Amino acid sequence: MDDKPQSGTLFGVPYNFERPSLKRLVSSYWKPGDGMLVEKPFGIGYTLNLANWRAWVVLLVAGVMLYLERGGEEAPFDEDDEDEPVEVVVD
């Protein structure tokens, strides 16, 4: 019986299911001459190339968005004001 290939591309998307070594992990995340996205050392698809400055901008933006989502800034109004009655005038 034929063995299935451990790495290759499927519909233009790379995959690699070979057991990763430490050297391969480090070398795949740090490729100074390549673009922002590089093939993953294990799995399907692409990952960020940490040797590219654009990848650090993406990580910074994602970090700021996560910080703001988790309540990094205080609300512009006091939470105690929610219980006070509000006067509404209708003509």
CA-atom Rg of the chain in angstroms: 24
Does the residue 65 lie in any domain?
yes
Number of domains in the chain: 1
pLDDT reported for residue 75: 56
Q: Which domain holds residue 41?
A: 7-71
Sign of CA dihedral 71, 72, 74, 75: negative
Low-confidence ranges of the chain (pLDDT < 50): none
Does the residue 34 lie in any domain?
yes
Does the residue 54 lie in any domain?
yes
pTM of the model: 0.63
Does the residue 33 lie in any domain?
yes
